[in-house]
Amino acid sequence: YAPLAEIDPEVKNIIDKETWRQFTGLELIASENLTSQATMEANGSILTNKYSEGLPNARYYGGNEYIDELEILCRKRALEAFNLDPAKWGVNVQPYSGSTANFAALTALIQPNDRLMGLGLPDGGHLTHGYYTAKKKMTASSIYFQSFPYAINPQSHLIDYDALAAQAKIFKPRLIICGASAYPRDWEYAKLKATAEKEGAWLMADIAHTSGLVAAQELNNPFDYCDVVTTTTHKTLRGPRAGLIFFRKDLEHAKDLEKRVNDAVFPACQGGPHNNTIAAIATSLKQVAQPEFRAYAKQVISNAQTLANALVAHGYKLQTGGTDNHLVLWDLRPIGLTGSKVEKVCDLMGITINKNAVSGDASAQVPGGIRLGTSALTSRDMREEDIKVVADFLHRAVQLSLLLQKEAGTKMLKDFVRVATTQEEGKQGYAQV
């Protein structure tokens, strides 16, 4: 045994720099969070050494006595975290990430070339929900399946459930996916279920972003209506980077759903599970079941609403005007800025955000907005008063971006970003602005 600093000072140094960045900066990326020390300890454990293809008590390798115990415990905690009856719901805890969980779910539910409908990426959906562009089918979910995304209403920016139903009536999808990466409002699962039932489609919710808020019962419950629910474990759920697939066990017409999902994860889409990650998921789910986590989830939403209100009070435009969950979508087009410019200026100020498409963007390559989330800051115990200060910092970042753009045109902003990029990343040339 020798410590990392001795074996590999270069990597240790990078980890130290990133630790410093995370400790000193303000983390506002809606898909990120700060997981607990206990979760990281489990994630960095000796369990990484073990191969365990298969399922508990049915492995392709020996020596899995403790790994079986772990996976069974993790499944139990996953069902408990979402208050699910083990007679009605099962869960596969092996997906390496949200993307693989989603592709495995698609593999379990539909056949190659079957039709699916998910929320379009420019409207807040995720790549894995069938995204493609006019030029290219660049995601597996559009390469292997026929995808016809639904959209948000161009005026209200809310899901238009009637338009979705009308589209499904014509397209006849085998699968409807709900859930999003950048949608600040809650979902009406009952309406989606009615459409799915009418058209004979599966209904799957990808609650990657909001699963912590769903577990805390702060948002509508997709489990009351969906056949399959997938999630990442590292966003509002505050666990390690991984995915989960929940499936109904009591469907008369699909008694084999459990087997289909399990077979889709392994061997269809993955090999051996990452047991260190499964341990870390189990640890984080134990924390999700504590009353403190419910208080945390409430605070995440209150903080997001405080942030939204403060930005609106500064005169800015938010998509849908506010939020029901942990994220805020800020439309910068009315003030003449792009998301990437503000992202870069924020980076220089130690505020981490991401550029994001907003409804009606001419090009997905030049997003007109930014997405903000309060999960990580709330994990640092920030409350409404702190969030108001953060909103003021963001206001100043935007005003600075405007000033740079106005005073000297885009060139000065480019120079500003170039200097910063060169200093910070040791790179030559312009950052993408």
**Residues in touch with ligand PLP (CB under 6 A):** 31, 97-99, 102, 126, 128, 179-181, 206, 208-209, 232, 241
Cβ(154)–Cβ(162) below 8 Å: no
Nearer to ligand PLP, 104 or 110 (CB): 104
Burial class (CB in 10 A: 0-12, 13-18, 19+), 290: exposed
- Angle at alpha carbon of residue 307, lines to 306 and 313, rounded to 5°: 90
Q: How far is the CB of 97 from ligand PLP (least distance, A)?
A: 3
Neighbours of 2 (CB within 10 A): 7
Q: Residue number with the shortest CB distance to ligand PLP? A: 98
Report the DSSP pairing between strands 26-27 and 351-352.
parallel
> Rounded to the nearest whole angstrom, what is the least distance from the CB of residue 88 to ligand PLP in the complex?
24
**CB of residue 242 to ligand PLP, shortest distance in Å:** 7
In angstroms, give the least distance from the CB of 101 to ligand PLP.
7
In single-letter form, the type of residue at position 383 comes to: R
Question: Tokens 């000065």 belong to which residue?
Answer: 412
> Coil, strand, or helix at residue 98?
helix
**Tally of CA atoms within 13 A in the half-sphere of 72 that contains its CB:** 9
Q: What is the DSSP string of 287-298?
A: HHTSHHHHHHHH
Interatomic CA distance for residues 260 and 242, integer angstroms: 20
> Is there a catalytic annotation at residue 186?
no
**CB contact at 8 A, 333 and 373:** no
Catalytic, 378? Answer no
Q: Based on CB atoms, which residue is closest to ligand PLP, 276 or 401?
A: 276
Q: Are 412 and 345 in contact (CB under 8 A)?
A: no
User: Is 51 labeled as catalytic in the residue annotation?
Assistant: yes
Catalytic residue (one of 12, 32, 51, 161): 51
Beta strands (DSSP E) in 158-237 are 175-178, 202-206, 228-232
Q: What is the distance between the terminal CA atoms of the chain, rounded to a whole angstrom?
A: 46
Minimum distance between the CB of residue 198 and ligand PLP, rounded to whole angstroms? 25
Provide the CA 395 distance to its chain's centre, in angstroms: 25
- State the Cα–Cα distance between residues 337 and 332, nearest whole angstrom: 5
Task: State in angstroms the smallest separation of the CB of 370 from ligand PLP.
Answer: 15
Nearer to ligand PLP, 102 or 167 (CB): 102
Mark whether 139 is an active-site residue: no
Q: Which is nearer to ligand PLP, 96 or 416 (CB)?
A: 96
Closest CA to 30 of 372, 274, 260, 405: 372
124 and 182 Cβ atoms separated by less than 8 Å: yes
- Choice among 53, 186, 188, 384 that is catalytic: 53
Marked catalytic residue, from 232, 320, 323, 378: 232
Active site residue 306: no
C-beta of 248 vs 326, nearer to ligand PLP: 326
Closer to ligand PLP by CB, 218 or 417: give it.
218
Q: Which of 50, 137, 241, 249 is catalytic?
A: 241
How many CB atoms lie under 10 A from the CB of residue 34?
17
Do residues 373 and 47 lie in contact, with contact meaning Cβ atoms separated by under 8 Å?
no
Least distance CB 69 / ligand PLP (angstroms): 26
Q: Is 115 a catalytic residue?
A: no
Our CB check for ligand PLP shows the closer of 207 and 308 to be 207
Residues with catalytic function: 51, 53, 206, 232, 235, 241
